C-alpha cells in the first residue's frame, strides 16, 4: 500500500504520536481511569511486582501494536473488519463476536464508573452520570473521524498533565508512605499472569484505532508508532500506581481508588480537575470503541453500495449500543464487571487476535519484506 492521498502531508504528530494517543484513549477507560483495574491486576503482586507486571504489559503492547500497524498498512485495512478478513479469512467473524462482547462490557464499565463519579462528587443517582457520559459519546461519534481524533488529541494533553500533577501532589503529601510501601518486602504473587491478562484484554485498542492509521506514509512509520504506543499508553498508569502504593494493601478494597486518593490529598480544586479528567478519559475511550463499529459499518456500506454513513446513522448505532451497555452497568456493578468479564476477554483476544497476528501475520509481513523491502 503506497502513501495514500490521506497520508500525503501528514504531520509527525499524526504519524508517530496520534496512534499511541488513540490507543491510550481506548485503553484508559477500561484500563486504569478509576484505578480499580490496577488494584485488580497489579496490586496483588505488591509494589515492585506490580511495576514488573506493568512493564511486561507495556512491552507486549509495543510489540503487538507495531505488528498490528504494519500488517494493517500492508493490507490496506482501516477498520477491524477488513483487518481480520485478511488475517483470519472466513473466521474473521470470531473476532467480531469477541469485539461486540468487549464493547458491551467496557461501555458498561464506563457507565458504572461515570455513575460512581457522579454519586461521589454530586450525590447524583448512579444512572445520572452514566446518561451524561452516553450523551457525550453520542455527540462525539456522530460527527465522525475529525471529532474523534480531536478528542484523542486534546484529552491526551489534559490527561498527561493531570497525572503528572497528581504524582507531584502525591509525593508532597504522602511521599514518605510511598517510600515505605516500596521498602516493605512483599511477594511478587502473579505479576506475570496479571501483566499478561491486563495486556491481552487491553491490546484490542491497537485494532480499534485503525482509522487513524490513514496518516501513515510507510511501514517504518507503522513500526515506530507501534513501539511508541506502549509507553504512551502505560505512563499514566505507572504514575497512578506509584501513588496507590502509599495506601497498599488496603486501597485494593476501594471501588474507586482514584476518589480515595483524592480524599487523602484533600485539595478540592484538584479533586474536581481529576474527576473531570476521568470523565474526559471515559469519553475518549467510549468514543473510540463505538467509532470503530461505526467505521466498520461505514466500510461495508462504502464497498457494497458506494455510499457514506451519515451522522444520524452513526448516532443511531451508538445510541442502541449505549442503551444496552448502561443497562448492564446498572444491573451488574463496577467491581464484578472488572473482576470476571475482563479475564474472559483476555483469553478471547489471545485466541482470535494476538496468536494469529504473531504467527500468521508476522510470517506474511516477513515474506512481503523478503520480496519487496520497504
**Which residues contact residue 155 at a Cβ distance below 8 angstroms, ignoring those fewer than 6 apart?**
25, 280, 281, 283, 284
pLDDT of 273 above 80: yes
Check if the beta carbon of residue 64 is closer than 8 Å to that of residue 354.
Answer: yes
pLDDT, average across residues 4-23: 78
pLDDT recorded at residue 58 = 97
Q: Is the pLDDT of residue 373 over 50?
A: no
Does residue 6 contact residue 145 with C-beta atoms inside 8 Å?
no
Q: Is residue 373 part of a domain?
A: no
Q: Are 337 and 111 in contact (CB under 8 A)?
A: no
109 lies in a domain? Answer: yes
The grid coordinates of residue 162 equal 493531570
Side-chain half-sphere of 295: how many Cα atoms within 13 Å?
A: 26
Report the pLDDT value the prediction gives residue 284, as an integer from 0 to 100: 85
Structural domain includes residue 371: no
Task: Provide the domain limits for residue 186.
Answer: 12-356
Helix axis angle for 257-265 and 219-244, nearest 10°, is: 60
pLDDT tens-digit profile of 146-186?
888 888 888 888 888 998 999 999 999 999 999 999 998 88
Does residue 5 have a pLDDT over 50? no
- How far is 51 from 74, CA to CA, in rounded Å? 35
Closest CA to 238 of 166, 184, 188, 181: 166
| Statement: residue 368 has pLDDT above 90 | no
Which pLDDT score is estimated for 246? Answer: 94
Q: Does the structure show a pLDDT above 80 at 67?
A: yes
- φ, ψ of residue 184 to 5 degrees: the values are -80, 125
Report the pLDDT value the prediction gives residue 333, as an integer from 0 to 100: 57
Q: What's the confidence (pLDDT) of residue 348?
A: 87
> Hey, what's the cell of 178?
510511598
Take residue 260 and report the three cell numbers written for it. 480515595
- Residue 128 contacts by C-beta under 8 Å, 6 or more apart in sequence? 115, 118
Of these ranges, 76-80, 227-231, 290-294, 309-313, the one predicted with the greatest mean pLDDT is 227-231
Predicted confidence at residue 366, as pLDDT, reads 92
What is the pTM for the complete model shown? 0.83
pLDDT band at 244 (very low <50, low <70, confident <90, very high): very high
Res. 340: pLDDT tops 90: no
User: How confident is the model over 91-96, as a mean pLDDT?
Assistant: 90
Helix ranges restricted to H, the chain: 12, 18-31, 36-41, 46-75, 80-88, 92-122, 126-142, 145-183, 191-202, 205-208, 219-244, 257-265, 268-305, 311-332, 334-336, 342-349, 355-356, 362-371
Instruction: Quote the number of domains for the chain.
Output: 1
**Closest of 105, 163, 164, 186 to residue 349, by C-alpha:** 105
**How far is residue 198's CA from residue 31's CA, in Å, rounded to a whole number?**
8
**Over residues 38-52, mean pLDDT:** 94
Residue 364 falls within a domain, yes or no? no
For the record, the C-alpha cell of 228 comes out as 511508541
For 288-298, b where at least 16 C-beta lie within 10 A, e where not — what string? bbbbbbbbbeb
The answer to whether position 3 is within a domain reads: no
Query: How far apart are alpha carbons 274 and 194 in whole angstroms?
Result: 26
pLDDT for the residue 317: 86
* Predicted local distance difference test score (pLDDT) of residue 3: 42
Average per-residue pLDDT for the chain: 86
CB 45 within 8 A of CB 252: no
pLDDT at 4 over 50: no
Angle subtended at Cα 344 by Cα 230 and Cα 81, rounded to the nearest 5 degrees: 65
Average the pLDDT over 304-314 and give the result: 83
Compute the chain's Rg from CA coordinates.
20
Which of 2-11, 25-34, 82-91, 126-135 shows the lowest per-residue confidence on average (mean pLDDT)?
2-11
What are the phi and psi torsion angles at 257 (to 5°)? -55, -30
Q: Would you say residue 7 lies in a domain?
A: no
The predicted-structure confidence for 204-235, as pLDDT tens digits, reads as follows: 889 988 988 989 999 999 999 999 999 999 99
Residue with cell 473521524: 145
Determine, yes or no, domain membership for 370: no
For residue 374, being part of any structural domain is answered with: no
Distance, in Å, from the CA atom of 187 to the CA atom of 365, rounded to the nearest integer, reads 41
Question: What percent of the chain stands above pLDDT 70?
Answer: 91
CATH number where 277 lies: 1.20.1740.10
Residues 204, 7: contact at Cβ < 8 Å?
no
User: Lowest-pLDDT range, 114-123, 210-219, 329-338?
Assistant: 329-338
Amino acid at each position: 500500500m503506497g502513501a495514500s492521498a490521506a497520508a500525503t502531508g501528514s504531520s509527525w504528530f499524526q504519524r508517530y504520536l496520534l496512534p499511541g494517543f488513540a490507543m491510550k484513549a481506548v485503553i484508559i477507560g477500561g484500563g486504569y481511569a478509576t484505578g480499580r483495574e490496577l488494584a485488580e491486576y497489579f496490586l496483588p503482586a505488591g509494589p515492585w511486582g506490580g511495576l514488573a507486571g506493568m512493564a511486561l504489559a507495556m512491552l507486549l503492547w509495543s510489540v503487538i501494536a507495531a505488528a498490528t500497524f504494519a500488517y494493517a498498512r500492508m493490507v490496506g485495512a482501516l477498520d477491524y473488519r477488513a483487518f481480520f478478513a485478511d488475517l483470519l479469512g472466513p473466521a474473521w467473524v470470531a473476532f467480531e463476536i469477541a469485539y461486540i462482547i468487549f464493547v458491551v462490557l467496557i461501555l458498561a464499565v464506563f457507565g458504572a464508573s461515570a455513575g460512581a463519579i457522579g454519586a461521589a462528587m454530586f450525590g447524583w443517582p448512579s444512572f445520572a452520570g452514566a446518561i451524561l457520559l452516553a450523551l457525550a459519546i453520542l455527540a462525539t461519534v456522530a460527527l465522525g473521524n475529525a471529532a474523534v481524533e480531536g478528542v484523542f488529541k486534546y484529552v491526551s494533553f489534559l490527561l498527561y498533565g493531570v497525572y503528572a500533577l497528581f504524582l507531584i501532589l502525591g509525593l508532597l503529601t504522602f511521599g514518605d508512605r510511598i517510600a515505605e510501601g516500596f521498602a516493605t518486602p512483599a511477594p511478587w504473587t502473579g505479576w506475570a499472569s496479571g501483566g499478561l491478562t491486563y495486556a491481552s484484554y487491553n491490546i484490542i485498542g491497537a485494532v480499534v484505532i485503525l482509522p487513524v492509521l490513514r496518516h501513515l506514509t510507510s511501514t517504518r512509520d507503522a513500526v515506530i508508532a507501534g513501539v511508541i504506543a506502549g509507553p504512551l499508553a502505560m505512563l499514566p498508569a505507572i504514575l497512578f500506581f506509584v501513588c496507590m502504593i502509599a495506601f497498599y494493601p488496603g486501597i485494593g478494597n476501594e471501588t474507586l481508588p482514584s476518589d480515595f486518593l483524592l480524599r487523602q490529598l484533600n485539595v478540592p480544586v484538584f479533586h474536581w480537575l481529576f474527576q473531570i479528567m476521568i470523565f474526559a478519559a471515559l469519553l475518549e475511550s467510549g468514543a473510540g470503541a463505538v467509532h470503530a463499529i461505526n467505521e466498520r459499518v461505514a466500510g461495508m456500506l462504502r464497498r457494497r453500495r458506494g455510499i457514506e454513513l451519515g451522522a444520524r446513522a452513526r448516532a443511531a448505532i451508538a445510541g442502541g449500543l449505549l442503551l444496552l451497555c448502561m443497562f448492564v452497568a446498572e444491573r451488574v456493578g463496577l467491581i464484578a464487571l472488572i473482576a470476571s468479564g475482563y479475564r474472559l476477554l483476555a483469553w478471547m483476544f489471545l485466541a482470535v487476535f494476538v496468536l494469529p497476528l504473531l504467527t500468521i501475520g508476522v510470517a506474511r509481513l516477513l515474506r512481503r519484506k523478503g520480496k519487496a523491502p520497504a
